[in-house]
Structure 1
């Protein structure tokens, strides 16, 4: 329930401040493994993708420093973000990502 509420609020906010092409998002299959690679434009990329693909289970690799900010930590814990250490070859994060594709 909390996930639904948070996603609805963020989706409404992003729809108000951004131009989002819902027709293209509707083309994304709702089931099965999927790797989406997008140009990282700004900090709103992940919230837009995650909330607009909901209820599809969506996660992603997130820089580990994100968890230093309480609100972002809350969001990415809710969204089951996978922390990645960008200073090393973080094989543990990629193993988690591989498992997420199987789940």
Structure 2
């Protein structure tokens, strides 16, 4: 298989939606600001204990992808919390970013 076709095949296989690990990474990047503030005030931080991706679909009005996932977090002064939610992600040069709904 020529190199150009091989590259195209790899792009088609995995570039259209974030993986579970990429969703977690995007969410961790989002919490860094919160953790910076909390760490300075309380010495504690939000921790992601687990994340399970359910499904993703393209958002009709943009280039974002909306993914449903269950996230389990440890939140200072609140303890452990688990919720299933949908969030929108968009792929940039530095990977997938959380952009809201």
Normalised to the residue count of structure 1, the TM-score between the two structures is 0.25
* Larger strand share, 1 or 2: 2
Higher relative contact order (CA 8 A, sep 6+): 1
- Alignment TM-score, normalising by the size of structure 2: 0.25
